[in-house]
Amino acid sequence: MEQFLTPEFWVAVGQIIMIDILLGGDNAVVIALACRKLPPAQRTQGILWGTAGAIVLRVILIFFALTLLAIPFLKLIGALLLVWIGIKLLAPEHDDAHGNISASDKLWAAVKTVIVADLVMSVDNVIAIAGAAQGAGENHQMALVIFGLVVSIPIIVWGSQLVIKLMDRFPIIITAGGMLLGWIAGTMAVSDPALADPTAWTWVPKVAQSDVVKYIAGIVGALLVLAIGKWVAARRMTKAATV
């Protein structure tokens, strides 16, 4: 029980909730689109069952992601993906990614649409959440993943509009989220087995596994996402202004 009272556990839970809120906006849109043609009496059931099925599949994916991250070099790849996701968060592309989401007036058809669409769109969530879970130790990674996802469900399903309004009003939330992904990417990269294990992959330069090194790597990752994200956003604004 004491393992669930450590600061590392609650920091990781907070990171998972924030990640799911920031990256879960698309999922809330998918749920709304897939269930929009259901009769009012079944709409809530479609949302609940579809979300529940999507969360179960996501937990399974994260379990495999946590296992795969123990393989050398995969954390480095995951860190690069997180940096890319963070940059996309700070400099989003303006396109309609949901035009192909079909609605159905049948409950289970709508539930299936929600689950399949969420599965396709959950790669960023899975990588980010698995990275956040790495920071809490190996003893309770899946427990905090499940806890963080369960807590974030009502926020995404019922509070998505409020979250979106808050993000529009306070852009610093988006900036902080992108930098959080960069922080996770940095700490994930330096803990890759190829860099951390002195007995394996001896031709690869090793990184000391101290808190100072991880903090520095996290800061570098956060600042890298911020700098590139702002640069990409500025370029797109300049390009749009000249068109």
Which pLDDT tens digits describe the chain residue by residue (243 residues)? 555 567 777 777 788 877 777 776 666 666 766 777 778 778 777 777 877 777 788 788 888 877 777 788 888 888 898 888 888 888 876 554 555 555 566 777 777 777 776 666 666 677 787 777 776 655 556 777 777 777 767 766 665 556 667 777 888 888 888 898 899 889 888 888 888 888 877 888 888 888 898 899 999 999 999 999 999 988 888 887 776
Asked if 114 contacts 28 with a C-beta cutoff of 8 angstroms, the reply is no
For the chain, the domain total comes to 1
Q: What is the pTM of this model?
A: 0.73
Domain boundaries, position 138? 2-242
Asked if 79 contacts 185 with a C-beta cutoff of 8 angstroms, the reply is yes
* Rg, Å, the chain Cα set: 19
Q: How far apart are CA 224 and CA 216, in angstroms?
A: 12
DSSP 202: T
pLDDT at 229: 92
- Cα maximum dimension of the chain: 63
List of residues 6+ apart from 193 with CB closer than 8 A: 70, 71, 72, 75, 200, 201
